[in-house]
């Protein structure tokens, strides 16, 4: 018996060593942690239950039968994050470059199946040279099985990808189908074809970092949702994110103890909106003053900054926030901001996270670049996402809400439940100047007349009361009481039930 126990320990120790001490040191020398160190940091101490530690590949080509490392380059299992269950896989670059064999993929599929069956999120830590070249189509088939599970799990359990090394070729499409992607600066990259192929085909000279590093994907492409300094920071941020999310689509988002007065008044909000309608102000100030303990978890902070997306808690419950940012491009809607917000709204809706929308939007961005690149279709994504969302929706208009953008930004007409406006809000087809120049074109040569018409238009429309008279705005509220009013609105909506007509699925403009 003692010998058997000893053998178990010996086998475990060998598996834990992955590709060996030398490769572990090489991994550390690059500023990267090992697959197991990452799992330890991600999960609550001592909570990890590992599966398939002794799985080995079955390849016999290219001498592979002589090299069968236990675990086959991926560490899989489950554990807890602040006491809540998550499944995890962590690719081990020290073992055959973390490359994906049929059995490596099978291990990932096993925990994904368990996650779906048992209703817990999946966190995938990616650090891999891609398809195991020695295995050919078996490896591709393995990827295909993982992809199919990503699709099946979408909207059932939250899926989070952390990119902590190479992730190239078709391999990028597994993270791409998950809900959130985090990257580590200077040590991770994602691209469909690498710099050498790019050079051959397009004659562009580009480094791996420029082509697919964390900065590229969080600032330019929006493929990734967050970029972090190192492995430790990225994993700590995953823990923070998971705290906001429900475990699956059958459970409500978690409620945390909160120590912030829900009736807290913020007198400073009464002067947040400047006198001059063209002067910007920081919408994040409003978000922080509404949130419990000023805790805001921003998603895609570095992309399309004219719209802000992220999570707060109100009375301890998770709420998704979408807010125009007047500090950037006057908070205008454009292709990038519409895509960013639409995806966020859909995430919230599929996981029953209520949505708070803060509106200060002058309209859609004009221009050939926007039109040629399909602002019609991309703008429609946000419209569609809001209109199909059945979660509680509360909207606060702080200042401008013009034209189509008024309708898009969770208006009453898209089944928002409670629509508030600050007294400073202006709900109209367009700003006074533009409107005057169109309806009083004949007077354009007379500045006095134009000024009088503009003043008249402002008087009539630059306020929330026309919309309030029609019931499109439920109440005009004091800015200082926004937290209290919004929290009470969501409290009243806790048992909201709304559904869509039966359909196989919708056809959102992709
Ligand atoms: C088998 C691999 C491997 C792979 C790396 N290794 N990638 N083994 N299949 N795909 C092995 C190396 O042979 C090496 O083994 C060890 O991992 C570490 O690799 P190095 O090259 O020494 O590391 P580094 O210099 O850091 O370079 C990392 C790398 C490079 C950039 C990822 O290894 C590389 O370019 N690999 C090939 C990438 C690739 O073309 N993959 C297929 C993409 S297509 P030893 O024993 O020497 O230490 C794809 C399709 C997916 O993935 C399709 C889905 C549908």
DSSP-assigned letters across all residues of 176-232? HTSSEEEEETTT-EEESS-HHHHHHHH-----HHHHHSHHIIIIIS---SEEESSHH
Query: pLDDT for 330-374, tens place per residue?
Result: 999 999 999 999 999 999 999 999 999 999 999 999 999 999 999
Residues 374 and 335 in one domain: yes
Residues 32 and 82 in one domain: yes
234 in Cβ contact with 162 (< 8 Å) = yes
For residue 132, the ligand 1 atom closest to its alpha carbon is: 9
Angstrom CA distances, 123 to 7, 109, 146, 151, stand at 31, 13, 13, 15
Low-confidence stretches of the chain (pLDDT < 70) are none
Active site residues: 169-170, 404-405
Flag whether 451 is in a domain.
yes
- Domain extent for 434: 429-462
For residue 23, the ligand 1 atom closest to its alpha carbon is: 48
Flag whether 254 is in a domain.
no
Round to whole Å and give the CA distance between 393 and 319.
10
Q: Report which DSSP code applies to 255.
A: B
133 in Cβ contact with 93 (< 8 Å) = no
DSSP string, 296-333: -EEESTTS-TTEEEEEEEETTEEEEEEEE-TTTGGG-B
Flag whether 353 is in a domain.
yes
**Measuring from atom 35 of ligand 1, which residue has the nearest CA?**
129
Residues 186 and 300 in one domain: no
Of the candidates 202, 225, 242, which is a domain's last residue? Answer: 242
pLDDT at 1: 74
pLDDT at 96: 96
Note the pTM of the prediction, 2 decimals.
Answer: 0.96
Compute the distance from residue 99 Cα to the ligand 1 centre, in Å: 6
Residues 303 and 205 in one domain: no
CATH of the domain at 415: 3.90.226.10
Residues 316 and 439 in one domain: no
Q: Report which DSSP code applies to 290.
A: H
Residues 348 and 449 in one domain: no
Flag whether 509 is in a domain.
no
pLDDT at 462: 86
Residues 48 and 178 in one domain: yes
Q: State which of 97, 133, 191, 198 you would mutate to test the pocket of ligand 1, scoring each by most atoms of that ligand within 8 A of its C-beta.
A: 97
Flag whether 416 is in a domain.
yes
Round to whole Å and give the CA distance between 124 and 173.
13
Residues 301 and 404 in one domain: yes
Count of domains observed in the chain: 3
Q: Could you tell me where the DSSP H helices lie in 354-414?
A: 368-372, 375-388, 403-408
Q: How many CB atoms lie within 10 A of CB 255?
A: 11
Residues 113 and 220 in one domain: yes
pLDDT at 304: 98
**Measuring from atom 34 of ligand 1, which residue has the nearest CA?**
129
Angstrom CA distances, 377 to 343, 370, 444, 464, stand at 14, 11, 35, 29
pLDDT at 432: 85
Q: Report which DSSP code applies to 55.
A: -
Flag whether 248 is in a domain.
no
H or E element in which residue 29 lies:
helix 21-29
Flag whether 303 is in a domain.
yes
pLDDT at 179: 98
Residues 327 and 439 in one domain: no
Residues 203 and 311 in one domain: no
Residues 151 and 300 in one domain: no
Query: pLDDT for 127-141, tens place per residue?
Result: 999 999 999 999 999
Flag whether 441 is in a domain.
yes
Kindly give, in sequence order, each residue whose CB lies less than 8 Å from that of residue 506, ignoring residues fewer than 6 positions away: 384, 388, 500
**Measuring from atom 19 of ligand 1, which residue has the nearest CA?**
97
52 in Cβ contact with 113 (< 8 Å) = no
The residues lining ligand 1, judged by C-beta closer than 6 Å to any ligand atom, are 96-97, 99, 129-133, 140, 143, 166, 168-171
pLDDT at 435: 87
354 in Cβ contact with 347 (< 8 Å) = no
């Amino acid at each position: 018996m003692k010998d058997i126990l000893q053998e178990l320990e010996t086998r475990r120790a060998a598996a834990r060593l992955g590709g060996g001490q030398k490769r572990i040191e090489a991994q550390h020398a690059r500023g990267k942690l090992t697959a197991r160190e990452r799992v330890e940091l991600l999960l609550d101490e001592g909570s990890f239950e590992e599966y398939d530690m002794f799985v080995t590949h079955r390849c016999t080509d290219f001498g592979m039968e002589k090299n069968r490392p236990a675990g086959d380059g991926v560490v899989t299992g489950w554990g807890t994050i602040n006491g809540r269950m998550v499944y995890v896989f962590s690719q081990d670059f020290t073992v055959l470059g973390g490359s994906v064999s049929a059995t490596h993929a099978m291990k990932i599929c096993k925990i994904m199946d368990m996650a779906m069956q048992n209703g817990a999120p999946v966190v995938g830590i990616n650090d891999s040279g891609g398809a195991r070249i020695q295995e050919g189509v078996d490896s591709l088939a393995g990827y295909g099985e993982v992809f199919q599970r990503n699709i099946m799990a979408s909207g059932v359990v939250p899926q989070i990808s952390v990119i902590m090394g190479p992730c190239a070729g078709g391999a990028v499409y597994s993270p791409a189908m998950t809900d959130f992607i985090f990257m580590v600066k200077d040590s991770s990259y994602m691209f469909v074809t690498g710099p050498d192929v790019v050079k051959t085909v397009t004659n562009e000279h580009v480094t791996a970092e420029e082509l697919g590093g964390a900065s590229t994907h969080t600032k330019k492409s929006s493929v990734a949702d967050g970029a972090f300094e190192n492995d430790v920071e990225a994993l700590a941020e995953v823990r923070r994110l998971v705290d906001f999310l429900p475990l699956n689509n059958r459970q409500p988002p978690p409620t945390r103890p909160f120590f912030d007065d829900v009736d807290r008044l913020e007198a400073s909000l009464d002067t947040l909106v400047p006198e001059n309608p063209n002067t910007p102000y920081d919408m994040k100030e409003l978000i922080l003053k509404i949130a419990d303990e000023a805790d805001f978890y921003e998603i895609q902070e570095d992309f399309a900054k004219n719209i802000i997306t992220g999570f707060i808690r109100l009375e301890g419950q998770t709420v998704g926030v979408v807010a125009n940012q007047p500090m950037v491009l006057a908070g205008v809607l454009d292709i990038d901001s519409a895509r960013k917000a639409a995806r966020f709204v859909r995430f919230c809706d599929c996981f029953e996270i209520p949505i708070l929308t803060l509106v200060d939007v002058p309209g859609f961005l004009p221009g050939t670049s926007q039109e040629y690149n399909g602002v019609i279709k991309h703008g429609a994504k946000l419209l569609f996402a809001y209109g199909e969302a059945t979660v509680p929706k509360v909207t606060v208009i702080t200042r401008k809400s013009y034209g189509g953008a008024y309708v898009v930004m969770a208006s009453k007409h898209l089944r928002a439940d409670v629509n508030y406006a600050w007294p400073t809000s202006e709900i109209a087809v367009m700003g006074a100047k533009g409107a005057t120049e169109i309806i009083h074109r004949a007077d354009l040569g007379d500045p006095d007349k134009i000024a009088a018409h503009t003043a008249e238009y402002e008087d009539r429309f630059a306020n929330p009361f026309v919309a309030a008279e029609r019931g499109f705005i439920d109440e005009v509220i004091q800015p200082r009481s926004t937290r209290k009013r919004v929290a009470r609105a969501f409290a009243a909506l806790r048992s909201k039930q709304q559904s869509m007509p039966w359909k196989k699925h919708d056809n959102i403009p992709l």
